[in-house]
Amino acid sequence: MRNRPAKVNKIRVKRGKLEKREAMMGVLFCVPWIIGAAVFLVYPIFTSLYYSLAGVTVDSVNGIMATPLNQIQWNNLQEKYVQVISHDQNFLPALLDYLVSTLVSVPVIVVFSMIIAMMLNQKIRGKGFFRMIFFLPVIIVSGPLLSLLSESSANTLSVVDTQTITGAIGSFLPPALATPVTSLFTNMVTILWYSGVPILIFISALQKIDTSQYEAAYVDGASAWEMFWKITLPALKPMILLNCVYTIVFISSNDQNSIIGLIKQAMISGTDEKGYDYAAAMAWIYAIVEVLLVGIFALIFMTRRDKYEKQGKKIDRQMRRERRKVLHIQRRQARHAKRYHRPTVR
């Protein structure tokens, strides 16, 4: 008879008290964030979506009053969205300017951040001081000081420095592209202020690259340019996507954005046409455009699997397929052997 493999009893190891306590402490530390996200993120999102679909009235006695969910008519669900797109004369031009300027500004910020990060990653004196200088504008931008600097034109270059560049750009580009490109040069100081966090992210990614790769490439005769394209840039590719997403969100949520100003004006407007529901519809259209922007950059910089990794997985699949064939043949041979060697009963 064929020897059957003995059954292996699986040993279940119970978690100790210390491990259970650590898991419980981790959950307790996550509870405040979960509550905060549910109260200040999830609930406002669904509330704004509800306001954009329902009619909202503001009463001095009862406050904000919205149409009950069961009384909302399907024919009126798209009323505010159609009104924003077709009747608002300021929203669509501002949205188009935002779209084009973001597509122009994000690559400039990311490339500038990568260059500064590679420079700060070198062996130079006072690296911590220079990193602090480039990160300091993040604190300024996130506070009300940016509004004061914008009002005093401290965030722009002088007209004398940029008039030649803007004149040359406007001479050979169409107005739809010349306007965001010229604004890029005039607001260069503000745009470079957004590069503080991306610089730190790129520096952390550069420090994780194994230096032995550069040494091996140098021994093989690779130039600095070749090492950048073959070693540095592939290692920074996931961080490029992360910085693109961060920059889009940061620019989109900035108080200097004209679209946010339009949404605030519509929200506090006392007219019958505009109000909380109208502003919520504008905000959702703006959010959809932001998601599309993030999707565009994600498609461009999404990391693809290495060809060697694909070949390795292909070989693994072939080996598993061959092992299954061998096991199938062995089982079939065992069945035939058992059938023909069965003892005859007389």
| Per-domain boundaries in the chain | 90-256
Least confident of 9-13, 54-58, 101-105, 307-311: 9-13
Contacts of 89-98 with C-beta under 8 Å, sequence gap 24+, read 90/262, 91/259, 91/262, 91/282, 91/285, 94/258, 94/259, 94/262, 95/259, 95/285, 95/286, 95/289, 97/179, 97/180, 97/258, 98/252, 98/257, 98/258, 98/259, 98/289
Token pair 């919520």: residue:
280
> Comparing C-alpha atoms, which of 342, 146, 326 is closest to residue 251?
146
pTM of the model: 0.69
Percent of the chain whose predicted confidence (pLDDT) is above 90: 5
User: Domain 90-256 class?
Assistant: mainly alpha
Q: Would the pLDDT of 2 be above 70? A: no
Q: What is the pLDDT of residues 152-200, one digit of tens each?
A: 555 555 544 555 655 666 666 666 566 666 666 666 666 677 788 888 8
Q: What is the pLDDT of residues 189-241, one digit of tens each?
A: 666 777 888 888 898 898 888 888 888 888 888 888 888 888 888 888 888 98
